[in-house]
Structure 1
Amino acid sequence: MSRRTKVATACPCGHQGMAYDECCAPAHRGHAPATAEALMRSRYSAFALDQDAYVLSSWHPDTRPAFVEPDSHLRWVGLDILESTGGGMFDAEGVVEFRAHYRDHGKRGDMVERSRFVRHDGQWVYWGPILTDGSLANV
Structure 2
Amino acid sequence: MVTSEAAAPADVDTALGDLQTHLNLIFARTRTLWRESAARIDPELQVGGYKLLTFIDRAGSASAHELAERFEMDKSVISRQVRMLEELGLIESRPDERDGRLRVLTATPSACSALTGLRSDHASRLRTVVAELTQDEIRAASKVFRLLSEV
On whether the aligned pair clears a TM of 0.5, the verdict is: no
Could you say which structure has the greater relative contact order, defined with CA pairs below 8 angstroms and 6 or more residues apart? Answer: 1
| Structure with the larger strand share | 1
* TM-score for the superposition, normalised by structure 1: 0.23
Name which one, 1 or 2, has greater alpha-carbon Rg.
Answer: 2
